[in-house]
Structure 1
């Protein structure tokens, strides 16, 4: 447990978004867009941190001065930058940060963050609008200095200390990915329904996460000891010694349970009466393929290609996409891979969007221009991706999945484009399927089946649109539920249409990962289930306990 001031233990409940227990410490994602490391210093280390802060002041001032010289002819903008220059040069401000480093024995980033927050709270308390606006200037100056200290201006990443549990208002899927790769242990979010894209990503990579943790924001400070219990949808701030010991034992029990599930990694996905139901995984990254294969996944039922774009600062070329897709296909060693075409929009925004044009999400992103609607409007993006996928199909079985379909014409247009790309490349066309995730698609499933090679039911959005409950909004998380009888009826209608047309049908939404639904899907004669890799062994074990034929 980290060093810090003694505080009384506090407990609360929240929405569990993934599984796991983390014993660690709290860190807040700063408004500067960088993760601020908090370190207590040893005696004698303060001078080095003071030097780092002083250098950052010089760098930030130089950049600001350069910008100021270039916009002096625009008085309004120049006045803002002049104000920022004055704030950075303020000796009282600089000395306050230096004093924190020296007296509290903390690193430069943490000292700067504390001082900026103190100043901002002071200005927020004023009734005068002008003075409150000065608080924003201080925050912007702090952001500029922080980026210079952290090195984020040069693209360097801050190493995350072991056991760090991040506390944030909200977070994007791409940010979840970036922080996980940096070593984040757990995540606490004020916002987010149980099936927002960020939460789905956290669940898929096995990152323990709770959402709706409003109380923690008021109680926690950086460095406070914390227990994130996603198994019981609860949290404990500043746990007592006995509480900490209890959770340490729970972690040991979970580890033993995972060892027990490990025996299912090499087993076939069969029911108790020997019926084979292939279990596949949903992936976002190439580096997850080895894990999928080690778990015994029988393919990739959903590869979310949009996450490649979200990780890039510029549009990906055909060659770059081909290298990624073909790497995934080869990595699965002959097992099928279903690539979903780019499904940008909503909470899935790419930093490279500015480079590929104006892809605004509208006032209601979930209902806006996304999925196939966006793709058909941006044929330049679509054709590049299709050519890359057709080329990747030469290395193994590839299936192309079209998102957000509501009309047969959309499927026909995509199929024609795939055929054209295949003809141009002199290669065989991959099979093209429809993602059933909109009630309109369910109601015309018999017609869609005639123009589709397969169906994949995306239960996350299907539940959202059927029940008119935003899956990213914790306020309606109780309404967003697969237990509503309409959801099963939607799935049954889709399966019936697929069976009538003689095409495969699978589930690729989070519902596939719910063991309580395994028997239902088995009895519906699903052709496969695709889920987060972290849930595959659990579902395989459940499958072994139920029968395909009712007794």
Structure 2
């Protein structure tokens, strides 16, 4: 947690990750997840009884999850998230958790000790995953493990439904089951030590329309029950002991945001076009079924990034061609015939498929992952290409290859793609032989040879999350250097400009599908750089569209020209902030720390 500054002797400002917009002002309700866990070795003749005790805990956990599902299934806003509870029930049947724990018990550990060791091993696998969404799925395993440990230790089930008065829940973490059971009439907001933008707590908080800030690291040790706090779920700001003046200020902002949210509803069906008539495509980054409803609600124009890794996650064997084909066709149906860009597998297979048995890597971020892995595991790659191509016979599908670093890689991908198209045609299976082919620009080498790459493909999609990390040599997950991860770094602006210029010189389109796309503060800059499209979390679309419809591309180009002359990210950031406050003061009138 970062202590930013005190505006008075009362106000203490903390900054976390804002994951669900809105402002909450109220008193703390501190949930204590602590309970004693005893770990010890058992005698050989106690092993069978200990395994039976563990199995009983598994059965009890499944019963609890089913009971929670029945309790919340009548709430319309949560129905689309019930699959999370089903996922947790499936984890209770997974050999990687249950079977491994029983095996560990046979080494004469008690159930708690065995379970903790297995959970530690599983966490290490997830920690090596680059994709933030998939890395956050570790929380599912943690939630199931926590539930089992509570049962084994005889601790009471944590029930957020028992909150007795309006308050802001503060916890080390909240499982999906705990989050689902909150009473929206009493819970004003969430604050947690753990979590990220794509954690289930964050996703559910948005569905519940409850302001939430996560990743505060030590919030549970810095607050007390009934202490007054303010939560700004938009900026990630949390204020402890707010003064009367600060409370009044945030109450005014809360009214303003409510009015603004109402105005944004009017933008759903409007075109994403600048004041000088430039059309910008606004698409969604999607994969979960629940996200498709959000896409329609917020007026996305297709799927700019359809992640496929979830199909491989936590399986003993890779998904079959038919399983993938059905998933892609389902996505086409749910998006209502709008275009969908499917990204091929973007992770090292050893972290997903047990049967591949790849060696652990010292630096997986720069190792055998993404397209490198697909080209090595060509049979796996061909199965996915067949499924994508068959889906292209059902609707407007584009294919996108991740982490391309050179021309040879894209040519190898296109060769295999052509061979698969020929196979399908010979088998009489429908596909689009002219399926648009694109690549992710995520590495410095791809930026530097973008003119050559642009001659090979139909479109570019810039993955700014990885591009920034690799360009600045900064590990976003390393708390010691994360502050250096800066989208406003002059080098990043130049990299984006070079990529856009190369794409347009070759007559192909270029979009962004990283987090930068969904930040309204960046919108004018991205237009000025020459982006043709932006793909983002669907909930970000209305505000980005509002910015688009109130600015011109000419204004963006003038701003970019000025930014490219600045030597530091601090100057770049200040210039952008000042410009946006002038152009759209009601949207960017947030307090500066």
| TM-score (norm. length: structure 1) | 0.67
Q: What is the SS of the residue equivalent to 1:478?
A: helix
Q: What is the SS of the residue equivalent to 1:214?
A: coil
The answer for the alignment partner of 1:256 in structure 2 is: 259
Change (3 A) 1:324 1:191: closer
Cα distance in structure 1, aligned partners of 2:448 and 2:546 = 34
Change (3 A) 1:18 1:32: farther
Change (3 A) 1:449 1:159: farther
The answer for the alignment partner of 1:275 in structure 2 is: 278
The answer for the alignment partner of 2:53 in structure 1 is: 60
The answer for the alignment partner of 1:80 in structure 2 is: 108
Change (3 A) 1:283 1:443: same
Q: What is the SS of the residue equivalent to 2:341?
A: strand
Query: 1:60, CA displacement in angstroms?
Result: 1.6
The answer for the alignment partner of 1:358 in structure 2 is: 357
Match of 2:510 among 498, 505, 510: 505
Match of 2:150 among 146, 152, 163: 146
The answer for the alignment partner of 2:319 in structure 1 is: 316
Check the 8 A contact 1:278/1:298 in 2, yes or no: yes
Q: Deviations over 1:280-326 (max 9, x none)?
A: 11112133223212322111111122134337676322222222211
Query: 1:361, CA displacement in angstroms?
Result: 5.8
Cα distance in structure 2, aligned partners of 1:513 and 1:450 = 28
The answer for the alignment partner of 1:490 in structure 2 is: 495
Change (3 A) 1:543 1:86: closer
Check the 8 A contact 2:302/2:339 in 1, yes or no: yes
Query: 1:517, CA displacement in angstroms?
Result: 2.4
Cα distance in structure 2, aligned partners of 1:349 and 1:180 = 32
Cα distance in structure 2, aligned partners of 1:217 and 1:487 = 36
Change (3 A) 1:331 1:159: farther
Query: 1:226, CA displacement in angstroms?
Result: 6.8
Change (3 A) 1:482 1:424: same
Cα distance in structure 2, aligned partners of 1:528 and 1:272 = 16
The answer for the alignment partner of 2:403 in structure 1 is: 404
Query: 1:332, CA displacement in angstroms?
Result: 2.2
Query: 1:270, CA displacement in angstroms?
Result: 0.8
Cα distance in structure 1, aligned partners of 2:224 and 2:319 = 40
Q: Where in structure 1 are there 5+ consecutive unaligned residues?
A: 1-8, 34-55, 65-69, 89-140, 152-156
Query: 1:255, CA displacement in angstroms?
Result: 3.3
Change (3 A) 1:362 1:228: farther
Query: 1:267, CA displacement in angstroms?
Result: 0.5
Check the 8 A contact 2:18/2:237 in 1, yes or no: no
- Deviation larger for 411-420 or 217-226: 217-226
Query: 1:336, CA displacement in angstroms?
Result: 1.2
Cα distance in structure 2, aligned partners of 1:25 and 1:57 = 36
Check the 8 A contact 1:60/1:145 in 2, yes or no: no
The answer for the alignment partner of 1:423 in structure 2 is: 422
The answer for the alignment partner of 1:454 in structure 2 is: 459
Match of 1:480 among 459, 472, 485: 485
Q: Does 1:413 align with 2:412?
A: yes
Structure with higher Rg: it is 1
Q: Does 1:307 align with 2:300?
A: no
Cα distance in structure 2, aligned partners of 1:13 and 1:29 = 22
- Deviation larger for 383-392 or 222-231: 222-231
Cα distance in structure 1, aligned partners of 2:274 and 2:401 = 30
Q: What is the SS of the residue equivalent to 2:192?
A: strand
Query: 1:541, CA displacement in angstroms?
Result: 0.4
Cα RMSD of the aligned pairs, angstroms, is: 4.6
Q: Deviations over 1:361-384 (max 9, x none)?
A: 622232222211122222233222
The answer for the alignment partner of 1:49 in structure 2 is: none
The answer for the alignment partner of 1:329 in structure 2 is: 332
Cα distance in structure 1, aligned partners of 2:200 and 2:283 = 20
Change (3 A) 1:536 1:143: closer
Check the 8 A contact 2:195/2:201 in 1, yes or no: no
Cα distance in structure 2, aligned partners of 1:477 and 1:200 = 22
Cα distance in structure 1, aligned partners of 2:419 and 2:16 = 47
Cα distance in structure 1, aligned partners of 2:18 and 2:291 = 20
Q: How does 1:165-176 map to 2 (within 5 A)?
A: 167-168=171-172
Check the 8 A contact 2:30/2:169 in 1, yes or no: yes
Q: Deviations over 1:410-465 (max 9, x none)?
A: 21222222222222222223222110011111011111112212100111111111
Change (3 A) 1:496 1:216: same
Check the 8 A contact 1:511/1:517 in 2, yes or no: yes
Q: Deviations over 1:316-341 (max 9, x none)?
A: 22222222211111222232111111
The answer for the alignment partner of 2:392 in structure 1 is: 393
Q: Where in structure 2 are there 5+ consecutive unaligned residues?
A: 1-9, 38-48, 58-98, 115-144, 426-430, 559-593
Q: What is the SS of the residue equivalent to 1:482?
A: coil
Cα distance in structure 1, aligned partners of 2:512 and 2:113 = 56
Cα distance in structure 2, aligned partners of 1:22 and 1:13 = 15
Change (3 A) 1:318 1:208: farther
Q: What is the SS of the residue equivalent to 1:473?
A: coil
Cα distance in structure 1, aligned partners of 2:35 and 2:350 = 19
Q: Does 1:235 align with 2:238?
A: yes
Query: 1:16, CA displacement in angstroms?
Result: 2.8
Check the 8 A contact 1:21/1:208 in 2, yes or no: yes
Q: How does 1:89-238 map to 2 (within 5 A)?
A: 146-147=150-151, 161=161, 167-168=171-172, 186=190, 188-190=192-194, 210=213, 213-219=216-222, 228-235=231-238
Aligned length: 441
Change (3 A) 1:363 1:12: farther
| TM-score (norm. length: structure 2) | 0.63
Cα distance in structure 2, aligned partners of 1:380 and 1:519 = 43
Cα distance in structure 1, aligned partners of 2:180 and 2:394 = 28
The answer for the alignment partner of 2:448 in structure 1 is: 443
Q: Does 1:266 align with 2:292?
A: no
Q: What is the SS of the residue equivalent to 1:487?
A: helix
The answer for the alignment partner of 1:518 in structure 2 is: 523
